[in-house]
Amino acid sequence: MGRGKIEIKRIENSTNRQVTYSKRRAGIVKKAKELTVLCDAEVSLLMVSSTGKMHEYISPSCTHKNLYDRYQQASGSNLWQPHYERMQDTLQKLKEVNNKLRKEIRQRNGEDLDELSFQQLRGLEQNMEKSVECVRNRKFHQISTSTDTYKKKIKNHEETHNSLLREFEERDADFSFPALDFEGDYQSTIGFATGNPQIFAFRLQPKLQSDLQDEEAYGSYGLSLA
Amino acid sequence: MGRGKIEIKRIENSTNRQVTYSKRRAGIVKKAKELTVLCDAEVSLLMVSSTGKMHEYISPSCTHKNLYDRYQQASGSNLWQPHYERMQDTLQKLKEVNNKLRKEIRQRNGEDLDELSFQQLRGLEQNMEKSVECVRNRKFHQISTSTDTYKKKIKNHEETHNSLLREFEERDADFSFPALDFEGDYQSTIGFATGNPQIFAFRLQPKLQSDLQDEEAYGSYGLSLA
DNA sequence: CGGACTATATATAATAG
DNA sequence: TCTATTATATATAGTCC
């Protein structure tokens, strides 16, 4: 090759390594071109230098992807194809399941009943009656629970109110402030204490409004999947 | 290179072409190995001969796929990645939608009601009552329709039967066969004609049985998707 | 760096066995 | 068809600019 036999072993000097890389890269690309022309071959050559730069040669009228795909096919070690096909399969299954689920919902919503037999209709009816009973029970359970909760809260606030009253009465007994000033403070404090449960009641309204919106949206998810 | 300058131009003699290909292929692979070792480079080399045979060289601790992917990334013309990602995305969305649908079904089945507000429960209850009414109506419609159908069929068979009877009576009047022989044939014919509706009735049973199985499977599709 | 030069080492076309 | 040989053409390491 050059002035004295060279040993095929990593070049430690990084500059020389790069120089050699450039020279030899040009040589190998030239060889690849010659192989293409002389022998009608197709060649895909990808090279990355130790500094990370990439160079390539590809025969005319051919792409790296094309050759790589053929290589995969030939070597039988195609790892992507099965993965891709499995995905496609899963997608299909999911779509089918999705359609089944939608149909069931439509049927439970009183639509799309034409293809059901009498027995199926009877089963569906019974099932729905049983289910509506569950919903009803849950509703009653919820309303009684929340009523209890509010009762407890009100009771709690009343107790606080009463203990405050007592506290102030005790202070009234211990000290003697001017009656009018004290009366003013006292009133406002009562106003706050008794007002609290009402604030709760008002805060309830908007919450219920949004719940109603949710309810209207029931069974009409905005689904637009291909 | 050899004995006399060679011209870089397609070798027309196919045998020589193959010979040259083999030799030069070995040479180029050797160069690729040297590049790898000397310069710390990574090389992916794919070659297809004019006869379709494939050969390769790949640097140790590296794969064609890896280098090809890096090439794609570098060249920015990666066509697979977006496709793959879109699929993954669609898959995820479908799964989410399916879960929502399942949840809706569970709720319409009287399960999973804990997180619903009172208003939502009330809406669901009303919706279900309306729906069960639709199912009930459809059921009544179906039973009346199918009853009519069976009535018509029975009527149809009775008419056939009667017309056959008349026909035989007429024959009986025109000719005079030995009474006993004729009686035998006659009976069997009647048996078939009147039996037909019964065959229908019997065939109905297994059909209804399977329908019942369908009904039992309601809301429990055997879904086991990852 | 990037070429240009050159002395050698290699690759390989042609040829023979 | 292969393999080995051999005469040349090429490739390229080292060097200089």
Q: How far apart are CA A147 and CA A157, in angstroms?
A: 15
User: Which bases of strand D sit closer than 7 A to a protein CB?
Assistant: 1, 6-15
Q: Is the CB of A37 under 7 A from strand D?
A: no
- Bridge pairing between strands A42-48 and B54-58: unpaired
Question: Does the structural domain A14-77 have CATH classification 3.40.1810.10?
Answer: yes
Mention every residue, 6+ apart, whose C-beta is less than 8 A from residue A12.
none
Of A145 and A104, the structure prediction assigns the larger pLDDT to A104
Task: Give me the pLDDT at residue B42, please.
Answer: 94
pLDDT classification of B200: cutoffs 50, 70, 90: very low
CA quadruple A9, A10, A14, A17: dihedral positive or negative? positive
Q: Which of B9-13, B191-195, B209-213 ranks highest by mean pLDDT?
A: B9-13
Report the nucleotide nearest the CA of residue B23, measured to C1': C12
- CA–CA–CA angle A25, A27, A30 (5° rounding): 110
CB B85 within 8 A of CB A84: no
pLDDT classification of B206: cutoffs 50, 70, 90: very low
Q: Residue B18 is which amino acid?
A: Q
Nucleotide C10: closest residue by CA–C1':
A1
CB B197 within 8 A of CB B154: yes
Q: Which of A83-92, B50-59, B156-165, B216-225 ranks highest by mean pLDDT?
A: B50-59
Tokens at residue A70, please? 């053929």
- CA–CA–CA angle B130, B135, B136 (5° rounding): 95
Q: How far apart are CA A90 and CA B98, in angstroms?
A: 13
pLDDT classification of A77: cutoffs 50, 70, 90: low
Count of H helices and E strands in chain A?
5, 2
CB A38 within 8 A of CB B9: yes
pLDDT classification of A97: cutoffs 50, 70, 90: very high
Among A28-42, A65-79, A133-147, which is the least confidently predicted range? A65-79
Residue B86 has pLDDT above 90, yes or no: no
Query: Mean pLDDT score of chain B, rounded to an integer?
Result: 75
Q: How far apart are CA B94 and CA A91, in angstroms?
A: 8
Q: Under an 8 A CB cutoff, do B128 and A142 touch? A: no
Tokens at residue B141, please? 């419609």
Q: Residue A59 is which amino acid?
A: S
Mention every residue, 6+ apart, whose C-beta is less than 8 A from residue B125.
A132, A135, A136, A139
Among A50-54, B13-17, B78-82, which is the least confidently predicted range? B78-82
Q: Under an 8 A CB cutoff, do A25 and B17 touch? A: no
Tokens at residue B192, please? 């078939």
Q: How far apart are CA A28 and CA A16, in angstroms?
A: 18
pLDDT classification of B80: cutoffs 50, 70, 90: low
Radius of gyration over alpha carbons of chain B, in Å?
Answer: 41
Q: Under an 8 A CB cutoff, do B133 and A110 touch? A: yes
Task: Give me the pLDDT at residue B137, please.
Answer: 93
Helix (H) or strand (E) holding B86: helix B80-108
Residue A220 has pLDDT above 90, yes or no: no
Residue A23 has pLDDT above 70, yes or no: yes
Supply the DSSP symbol for B61.
T
Residue A18 has pLDDT above 50, yes or no: yes
Of A129 and A79, the structure prediction assigns the larger pLDDT to A129
pLDDT classification of B41: cutoffs 50, 70, 90: very high
Residues A159-218: tens digit of each pLDDT: 888 888 887 777 665 544 333 333 333 333 333 333 333 333 333 233 333 333 333 333
Mention every residue, 6+ apart, whose C-beta is less than 8 A from residue A75.
none
Q: How far apart are CA B163 and CA A28, in angstroms?
A: 98
Of A218 and A10, the structure prediction assigns the larger pLDDT to A10
Cα end-to-end span (Å), chain B: 61
Give the residue-averaged pLDDT of B192-206: 33
Residue A153 has pLDDT above 80, yes or no: yes
How large a percentage of chain A has pLDDT more than 70? Answer: 72
Q: How far apart are CA B131 and CA B196, in angstroms?
A: 39
Residue A225 touches partner B, C-beta closer than 8 Å? yes
Give the residue-averaged pLDDT of B70-79: 77
Task: Give me the pLDDT at residue B106, please.
Answer: 95
Residue A108 phi/psi, 5-degree rounding, is -70, -10
Report the nucleotide nearest the CA of residue B28, measured to C1': C11
Torsion of CA B134, B137, B138, B144, to 10 degrees: 180
3-class DSSP state of B203: helix
Q: Hey, which residues 93-122 in chain A have their CB within 8 Å of chain B?
A: 93-95, 97-98, 100-102, 104-105, 107-111, 113-114, 116-122
Q: Under an 8 A CB cutoff, do B50 and A56 touch? A: no
Cα end-to-end span (Å), chain A: 62
Strand partners, A42: B48
Q: Hey, which residues 36-55 in chain B have their CB within 8 Å of chain A?
A: 37-50, 54
Residue A102 has pLDDT above 80, yes or no: yes
Q: How far apart are CA A55 and CA A45, in angstroms?
A: 8
Tokens at residue B66, please? 């890896």
Instruction: List CB contacts (< 8 A) between A218 and chain B.
Output: 104, 120, 123-124, 127
Please indicate, yes or no, whether the overall pTM of this predicted structure exceeds 0.75.
no
A165 CA: distance to closest CA in chain B (Å): 36
- Bridge pairing between strands A54-58 and A42-48: antiparallel
Q: Under an 8 A CB cutoff, do B132 and A129 touch? A: yes
pLDDT classification of B171: cutoffs 50, 70, 90: low
Task: Give me the pLDDT at residue A161, please.
Answer: 84
Residue A1 touches partner B, C-beta closer than 8 Å? no
Task: Give me the pLDDT at residue B173, please.
Answer: 58
Among A113-122, A134-143, B64-73, B193-202, which is the least confidently predicted range? B193-202
Q: Of B48, B98, B109, which to mutate for an interface test with A (greatest number of A Cβ within 10 Å)? A: B48
DSSP readout, A18-58? Answer: HHHHHHHHHHHHHHHHHHHHHH--EEEEEEE-TTS-EEEEE
Q: How far apart are CA A122 and CA A130, in angstroms?
A: 12
Task: Give me the pLDDT at residue A78, please.
Answer: 59
Cα B215 from chain centroid?
Answer: 23
Among A132-136, A149-153, B61-65, B112-116, which is the least confidently predicted range? A149-153
Q: How far is the CA of B64 from the C1' of C4 (A)?
A: 37
